[in-house]
Structure 1
Amino acid sequence: MTTTVERGVAGALDSALPTRFSLTPKTTLTGQLDGAWWPYSRDLTTELPPLVEALDGRLGRITRVMVNPTRWPVVPHKVPATGHTVHVGWFTELDPEKMILLSYTVGRFDLLVIPPGTEPAAAARLLTAAAIPGSVLTAGVLMSDEAATGGRMRDTRSSEDTWENDGGPALPSLRHPSSARG
């Protein structure tokens, strides 16, 4: 289920921008991911509060977040969220495409983090794929598969554009072979 929640946190990039995320529906099937998040920037201080606010009602109070620092230029130790502080840790062993959230009620919650500059169609596919119950695909595999899919789609569009711009396929000669003699 893809969800957008209007941002209402002071200091956010733009409080009118929705928080873009998807969550795996409640089921007995467990998978590698519990959903996905598509932030607007790589600024955790700005991006985390709206996500935590949106998820608090569904997962309980988020107390800790873990990220791989290779995807975040600055990893703050603490980020203020609605009515509490979220502690942020970083681990280079963590899949760089993933974020782990910890809450009192749900425990561990793993999200695919979709890069901010991702094309909307690709992000929509990733938001959907990360929320499939029981999926065995990791965050890194989903991102790799999407890169391959996106490349094939760009190649197809490029071929179609070339075909259209060149007037379609080459037409066979309409002259009769015997008229080709000189």
Structure 2
Amino acid sequence: MTAALDTLLPSPPLLRLRLAPRGALPHPIDGAWWPHSYDLLTELPRLLAGLPGAWGHISNVTVNGATWAATPGRMLVFNQVVRLSRCTAASAPHTVCLLAPNRGRWDLLVVPPDTPESLAEPLMAAAAGGDV
């Protein structure tokens, strides 16, 4: 019966994430994330699940307030509270900032969900290469 249910349930979309290689020098941007929608409550758990374990527990996430649909001040992700902040800084309209206590801060370029693949892939590659 389980096999029949597995074939009926749609599989979740793949995480579209590219990270810059770890190096001695910090990068201005640590990679790129191409979410499938502007629904942060759906997209954020997928993103956090796909991050390297060495990054630790991401406790704070800051997104651009003009880009994402309304979000609560915090949400439960994998039985841990994640605080959500919205900024309206014109200097970073397409980024997400991830903070992990005593581990670090990572800034990801956010490729808008409706971007065609032909444009999104080069943006993600450039961000992962540190060329943004």
What TM-score range do you get, normalising by the shorter chain? 0.7 to 0.9
- Give the drift of 1:132: 1.3
| Cα distance change of structure 1 residues 59 and 66 upon mapping to structure 2, 3 Å threshold | same
Note the residue ranges of structure 1 that are not aligned, 5 or more in a row. Answer: 1-13, 138-182
Q: Structure 1 pair 33/82, CA: closer, same or farther in 2 (3 Å)?
A: same
| Alignment match, 1:151 | none
Q: 1:10-33, CA deviations, whole angstroms, 9 ceiling, x for partnerless residues?
A: xxxx64311110101111122210
Matching of residues 46-57 of structure 1 within 5 Å: 46-55=42-51, 57=53
* Equivalent of 1:38 in 34, 41, 58: 34
2:67 aligns with one of 65, 68, 71: 71
1: CA distance, partners of 2:79 / 2:24 = 32
1:78 CA displacement: 1.3
SS in 1 for 2:123: helix
**Partner residue of 2:25?**
29
SS of 1:71 mapped into structure 2: coil
Q: Which has the higher helix share?
A: 1
Q: Which moved more, 1:89-98 or 1:39-48?
A: 89-98
2:15 maps to amino acid: T
| Preserved CA contact (<8 Å) 1:48 1:79 | no
Identity %: 39
TM-score by length of 2: 0.84
Structure 2 gap segments, 5+ residues each: 1-9
Residues 86-133 of structure 1, C-alpha deviation per residue, up to 9 Å, x if partnerless? 110011126111110001353110000000011112111111111114
Q: Distance in 1 between matches of 2:72 and 2:11?
A: 21
Q: Which has the higher contact order (CA 8 A, sep 6+)?
A: 2
**CA 65–42 in structure 1, closer or farther in 2 if over 3 Å, else same:** same
> How far apart are 1:52 and its partner, in Å?
0.8
Render the CA deviation track for 1:154-177: whole Å, top value 9, x for unaligned: xxxxxxxxxxxxxxxxxxxxxxxx
Match for 1:88 among 79, 84, 91?
84
Count of aligned pairs between the two proteins: 122
Q: Which runs of 4+ in 1 moved over 6 A?
A: none
